[in-house]
Amino acid sequence: MIYTTAEHDALREQVARFLEREVEPHGLQWEEQGYTPKEVLRKMGKLGWLGMTYPSEFGGAETDFLTSVVFQEALSMSTFGGFIVTVLVHTDMASPHLIHAGSPEQIKTYLPGAISGDLITAVGISEPDAGSDVAGIRTNARRDGGDWVLNGSKMFITNGVNADLYFIAAKTDPNAKGSRGISMFIVEKGTPGFSVGRKLEKQGWCSSDTAELIFDNCRVPAANLLGEENQGFYAVMSNFQIERIALGAMAIGHALTALRLTTEWTKQRKAFGGVLFDKQVIRQRLAMLASKTEAARALLYHCAWLVNEKKDCVKEVSMLKALTGELVNEVVYSCQQFFGGMGYMKESPIERLVRDARVLAIGGGATEVMLEEVAKRLYF
């Protein structure tokens, strides 16, 4: 099945030009400062890239989900994973909660700013004791008159420092067991009782800001309840499929970039009387990695097609997340090896890709969790 079109190819080229002009020359500075400037996202907003599938009445492009995935993959050709995840958290992991569960008034209030890049979003699910295990969250919210009062903390929140709008999961029924009794809330930056506890230093994704969030008797209006009370777990899980596809696209983009850089390097790097690419073991290893990447890429597009067709895709998306999270690490590790000592230098994009790729087997659902989701649905 052919999934992509000439229009998708044009989008890839447009994104590639943007990366060449607006991202790659500045990424090292962003890594040093620890975040991607909001102005970059505003430029992307003007190009219509922050609301690919969202309604045009709010500034969205109203594309199908496959086009959005093509964009995700094209964006992930950047060698700066922190920039990529800053964007993808905003477009595919946080703001979708608003479009999927928001009331007409909430959508009208917040979505135009999210699409333009004037309001950067983050989603607060993970906690010190609750990562892939969403049911284990302890942050709680109690109703007090016309407000909800939130208490607790969130950990490893991408865009946590610089976001303007946060979608926070909290337990609203203290007597409910497991995944029951969780609700989602809209919390604006500057809300009394809400603060950024600390900015977290990471192994990779250095040009994205990651933070601990603290809620200390944080009052939000009752109107800021996002979706139905006590139904937040289902909202989180449904959006996980979109999030995991985006992370799969990111892994594919990283792998393709690493393979391109390494192929170029081995074709010009002289050693032992010739260039490295002349060595059969090297070119065949690159060929096998490219084959695996293209196979995983086909699964990525198939998952996007399943979403477009509104078909159940938990099994396929879990396969994608497990497969690509492991594959991208295999690819970048092998590519670093072929770069030799230069691949270990921080001036080398391959060194950065190695650091940035590691978390793709962890974040958004660790490989082991994904494989359990697949195992539950095996039909052999």
The beta strands (E) that lie in 5-144 are given as 121-124, 140-144
pLDDT in the model for residue 247: 97
**Of the candidates 252, 262, 288, 222, the residue with the CA atom closest to the CA atom of residue 360:** 252
Domains with residue ranges and CATH for the chain: 6-119 (1.10.540.10), 122-230 (2.40.110.10), 233-376 (1.20.140.10)
Provide CB contacts within 8 A for 39, sequence distance 6+. Answer: none
Which amino acid is located at 185 in the chain?
F
Burial string for 357-368 (b: 16+ CB within 10 Å, else e) reads bbbbbebbbbbe
Q: Which tokens go with 261?
A: 């850089």
Structural contact between residues 207 and 30, judged by C-beta atoms closer than 8 angstroms: yes
pLDDT in the model for residue 261: 97
Of 23-27, 140-144, 375-379, minimum mean pLDDT range: 375-379
pTM over 0.75: yes
Q: Compute φ and ψ for 362, nearest 5 degrees.
A: -120, -60
- The C-alpha atoms of residue 348 and residue 344 are separated, in whole angstroms, by 7
Q: Compute φ and ψ for 117, nearest 5 degrees.
A: 90, 5
Which amino acid is located at 143 in the chain?
R
| 66, 121, 159, 185, 351 from 58: Cα distances, Å | 21, 16, 23, 21, 40
Query: Residue 1: is its pLDDT beyond 60?
Result: no
pLDDT in the model for residue 40: 97
Average pLDDT over residues 114-131: 89
Q: Compute φ and ψ for 14, nearest 5 degrees.
A: -65, -45
Provide CB contacts within 8 A for 159, sequence distance 6+. Answer: 86, 89, 90, 94, 120, 121, 122, 208, 209
Widest pairwise Cα distance in the chain: 79
**Which residues are known to be catalytic?**
243
pLDDT in the model for residue 174: 85
Average pLDDT over residues 307-335: 96
Structural contact between residues 44 and 87, judged by C-beta atoms closer than 8 angstroms: yes
pLDDT in the model for residue 55: 94
pLDDT in the model for residue 175: 84
- The C-alpha atoms of residue 73 and residue 256 are separated, in whole angstroms, by 10
- The C-alpha atoms of residue 357 and residue 343 are separated, in whole angstroms, by 15
**Of the candidates 371, 364, 259, 258, the residue with the CA atom closest to the CA atom of residue 323:** 371
Q: How confident is the model at residue 56 (pLDDT cuts 50, 70, 90)?
A: very high
Of 38-47, 105-114, 231-240, 362-371, minimum mean pLDDT range: 231-240
Provide CB contacts within 8 A for 86, sequence distance 6+. Answer: 35, 36, 41, 158, 159, 207, 208, 209
Query: Residue 367: is its pLDDT beyond 80?
Result: yes
